[in-house]
Amino acid sequence: MSASYRAVNWNRFKRRYDLAFLSLLVIYAATFVAVALLAHPESTAETVMIRTLGTAALLFLHITLSIGPLSRLSPRFLPLLYNRRHLGVLTFCIALLHAALSLFQFHAGGDVNPFVSLLVSNTRYDSLSQFPFEILGIGALLILALMAVTSHDFWLANLSPRAWKSIHMLVYPAYVLVVMHVALGALQDSRTPALAIALSAGATWLAVIHILAGAKAAILDRRRSDETGDHLIAVGEVSEFSPGCARLAHTPDGGIAVFRYGGNGEWLAAMSNVCAHQGGPLAEGRIVDGCVTCPWHGYQYRPESGGSPPPYDEVLPTYQVTLRGNQVLVDPAARPLDAPATPVRLDVGRER
Amino acid sequence: MSSSPERLRPFFVGYLPIPKTLRGFAAFLSLALGLVGMLIAVGLSHGQNAPRTGVFEFGRESSLEGTIAVTPAPMLWTRSESGVATPVLLVGQWKFGADDVVSAFDGASVEIRGTRIMDGDMQLFEVAGSTDAVRPSPSPAPSAPTPEWTGGEHSVLRGEIIDPKCFFGVMKPGYGKVHKGCATRCISGGIPPMLWVRHATSHESFYLLVGPDDTPARDLSLPFIAEPVEIQGRVQTVEGAPFSIMRISDNAIRRIR
């Protein structure tokens, strides 16, 4: 959380996260180069570097794209999600280096400007086998650049979370462009199956975890909360609420998170399930230091008001909770931001 | 909705200490990623195409003596001790031909400084960038006449148009679709185009493509570089040369797939 914008809000975990992925890059690159020198000693250094960076960018793009669905499948992967933007920026930097080295290697030192050469050296757009694969890589790189530039919370706040999310969903078209860039480029010249196996295994892996995550979300969506005759939504019995945790009331606009909180779990309050930051699912969060805490990036809201603790100023809509016997009900009509719902006090001594 | 409350799972917040129960998983994940990364690197690196064995003696300047022929492409005819003449194709710095540097020395016996490019019997020489890279030979012997390309049998050959500078050692690979942009720049910049023909028995042969004006057929070749092509023309040879020349005219090249 931040009340003002800084280049990077570093903390201990972010440093370790970045160090871990930089280490992975170093390990990958060192292994690739070492094996190339041993297995193909006639290789030229620039070709080895271009291939090291290209395949590393592909690997890191796969990791970046895996984090979302893995986090949906198991919350144990949520630490990977916390700093995913840094991983995305690192992926872009690797891809940019690959592109810069390739531009220099294949197009510099000739009779036309390298950037012009890049665009005019192959114009066989009429042929699949001869298609200029470079243009596909350029398209992917431009998307990754747009994502890297707008990755900061400044842009998230100023573009609105919905627009920001739309921009960052472009990572999927970028992935398709990258796969085609490889398939219509390096793969066509390859006389061994290694690259084809890696590319298809990566695509299969991503498809499987996205389908599994989608199936899990669909199953959860089918568990519709019970609507009562008076338009209230039944969320469960009091005994089903763990102190410090929430249950989700399904609504068309992302759901309502009904939290049980307090020193003895004696309060119930409800707020929007959609975090103001990146739309994280608050019902999967927890009460930390008396505040509802988003599982994605730790944004916090006071359950009794929906507002972030000072100096932060995010406010989420609240919803009125009522009890009918042991049954917890919530009114799906959001309360005005300046007139939040009243939390319900439980008689914890009488709870079954 | 009558299930009992779920057991509290560890909850991660990025700016708080990571829960103990998640630390083990994070450590396992880091190791697994490192291991998978190494395995992928080994597979992809080992699975690269074996590069050609040509050598570009980058950073090591040499000198050659011989007789310059500007047509059909800049080359230096060198003679072995037994008197056999061998052509060394001359190319310029970066992605340029050597025409401008050697054109004033056509038929002259010279000493040239530059960098050798070798692949088997094939020899090329990248002429150094300095103004005195080509100078009259210090040897008192008169320049020997350059051999004539003879023959002229009409042939139809299938292969790939390459730029010989990259192909024979400067770049690996110096052929194929990935290298197409570079080959286009090289040939556009004056390096003579060559046809690379692969025979069924892993044998290969090379044909310098020469246009109707007895110069390298650059403009005729440019639209077809790095693609499978069929070329019709007249093939001429010289004994001892590791390549032939193929004289072609307009519409001699066609794509075959």
Which of A193-207, A229-243, B50-64, B110-124 is predicted with the least confidence, judged by mean pLDDT? A229-243
B33 domain residue, yes or no:
no
Are B179 and B124 in the same domain?
A: no
CA distance A214 to A255: 17
Of B11, B12, B47, the CB nearest to A195: B47
Residue B114: domain span: 55-136
Are B227 and B194 in the same domain?
A: yes
3 state SS for chain A: CCCCCCCCCCCHHHHHHHHHHHHHHHHHHHHHHHHHHHHCCCCCHHHHHHHHHHHHHHHHHHHHHHHHHHHHHCHHHHHHHHCHHHHHHHHHHHHHHHHHHHHHHHHCCCCCCHHHHHHHCCCCCCCCCCCCHHHHHHHHHHHHHHHHHCCCHHHHHHHCHHHHHHHHCCHHHHHHHHHHHHHCCHHHHCCCCHHHHHHHHHHHHHHHHHHHHHHHHHHHHHCCCEECCCCCEEEEEHHHCCCCCEEEECCCCCCEEEEEECCCCCEEEEEECECCCCCCEHHHCEEECCEEECCCCCCEECCCCCECCCCCCCECCEECEEEECCEEEECCCCCCCCCCCCCEECCHHHCC
- Mean pLDDT score, B128-135: 93
Question: Contact A134/A186 with Cβ under 8 angstroms?
Answer: no
* Tens of pLDDT, residue by residue, chain A (352 residues): 555 667 677 899 999 999 999 999 999 999 999 999 999 999 999 999 999 999 999 999 999 999 999 999 999 999 999 999 999 999 999 999 999 999 999 999 999 999 999 999 999 999 999 999 999 999 999 999 999 999 988 888 888 888 999 999 999 999 999 999 999 999 999 999 999 999 999 999 999 999 999 999 888 777 665 666 678 999 999 999 999 999 999 888 889 999 999 988 999 999 999 999 989 999 999 999 999 999 999 999 999 999 999 989 899 999 999 999 999 999 999 999 999 999 999 987 655 4
Residue of B nearest to A29 (CA): B41
Residue of A nearest to B182 (CA): A106
B25 domain residue, yes or no:
no
**CA-based nearest residue to A322, from A283, A271, A268:** A268
User: pLDDT value at position A281?
Assistant: 94
Count CB neighbours of B223 within 10 A.
14
B94 domain residue, yes or no:
yes
User: pLDDT value at position A350?
Assistant: 58
User: Which chain B residues are closer than 8 Å to A192 by Cβ?
Assistant: 47-49
Are B165 and B234 in the same domain?
A: yes
User: Is the pLDDT score of B2 beyond 80?
Assistant: no
> Can you give the pTM of this predicted structure?
0.91
Q: How far is B207 from chain A (nearest CA, A)?
A: 22
User: pLDDT value at position B111?
Assistant: 95
Of B26, B50, B185, the CB nearest to A110: B185
Kindly determine whether residue B37 and residue A40, on different chains, have CB atoms separated by under 8 Å: no
Kindly determine whether residue A192 and residue B49, on different chains, have CB atoms separated by under 8 Å: yes
Boundary residue ending a domain (B136, B160, B191): B136
User: Is the pLDDT score of B76 beyond 70?
Assistant: yes
DSSP 8-state symbol, B222: G
CA distance A121 to B209: 20
Boundary residue ending a domain (B108, B136, B164): B136
Kindly determine whether residue B48 and residue A240, on different chains, have CB atoms separated by under 8 Å: no
pLDDT digits (tens, 9 = 90+) for B154-164: 999 999 999 99
User: pLDDT value at position A197?
Assistant: 98
Of B15, B45, B50, the CB nearest to A35: B45
Boundary residue ending a domain (B136, B162, B186): B136
Kindly determine whether residue A197 and residue B43, on different chains, have CB atoms separated by under 8 Å: yes
Kindly determine whether residue A121 and residue B185, on different chains, have CB atoms separated by under 8 Å: yes
User: pLDDT value at position A5?
Assistant: 67
User: Is the pLDDT score of B5 beyond 70?
Assistant: no
Question: Contact A254/A279 with Cβ under 8 angstroms?
Answer: yes
User: pLDDT value at position A161?
Assistant: 84
Are B174 and B103 in the same domain?
A: no
B8 domain residue, yes or no:
no
- Which of A107, A121, A275 should we substitute to test contact with B (largest number of B Cβ atoms within 10 Å)? A121
Are B245 and B169 in the same domain?
A: yes
**CA-based nearest residue to B255, from B227, B234, B236:** B227
Are B117 and B210 in the same domain?
A: no
B28 domain residue, yes or no:
no
Tell me, rounded to whole angstroms, the distance of Cα A89 from its chain centroid. 13
User: Which chain A residues are closer than 8 Å to B45 by Cβ?
Assistant: 31-33, 35-36, 39, 51-52
B46 domain residue, yes or no:
no
Are B63 and B123 in the same domain?
A: yes
- Which of B2, B23, B45, B165 should we substitute to test contact with A (largest number of A Cβ atoms within 10 Å)? B45
Domain count, chain B: 2
Are B78 and B158 in the same domain?
A: no
Kindly determine whether residue A31 and residue B95, on different chains, have CB atoms separated by under 8 Å: no
B209 domain residue, yes or no:
yes
Split at pLDDT 50, 70, 90, the class of B79 is: confident
- Interface A–B counts its CB contacts (< 8 A) at 198
Are B194 and B232 in the same domain?
A: yes
User: Is the pLDDT score of B69 beyond 50?
Assistant: yes
Q: Which long-range contacts (CB under 8 A, 24 or more apart) does A53-56 make?
A: A53/A29, A53/A94, A53/A95, A53/A97, A53/A98, A53/A101, A54/A95, A54/A98, A54/A102, A54/A182, A54/A186, A55/A198, A55/B40, A55/B41, A55/B44, A56/A25, A56/A28, A56/A29, A56/A32, A56/A94, A56/A98
Q: How far is A9 from chain B (nearest CA, A)?
A: 10
Are B154 and B248 in the same domain?
A: yes
Question: Contact A202/B54 with Cβ under 8 angstroms?
Answer: no
Kindly determine whether residue B4 and residue A24, on different chains, have CB atoms separated by under 8 Å: no
CB proximity list for B223: less than 8 A, separation 6 or greater? none
Reported ipTM: 0.93
Are B165 and B107 in the same domain?
A: no
The CATH number for B91's domain is: 2.40.50
Q: How far is A186 from chain B (nearest CA, A)?
A: 6
What's the Rg (C-alpha) of chain A? 25
Kindly determine whether residue A27 and residue B29, on different chains, have CB atoms separated by under 8 Å: no
B29 domain residue, yes or no:
no
Q: How far is A205 from chain B (nearest CA, A)?
A: 13
User: Which chain A residues are closer than 8 Å to B187 by Cβ?
Assistant: none
Split at pLDDT 50, 70, 90, the class of B142 is: low
Are B195 and B245 in the same domain?
A: yes
Kindly determine whether residue A40 and residue B48, on different chains, have CB atoms separated by under 8 Å: yes
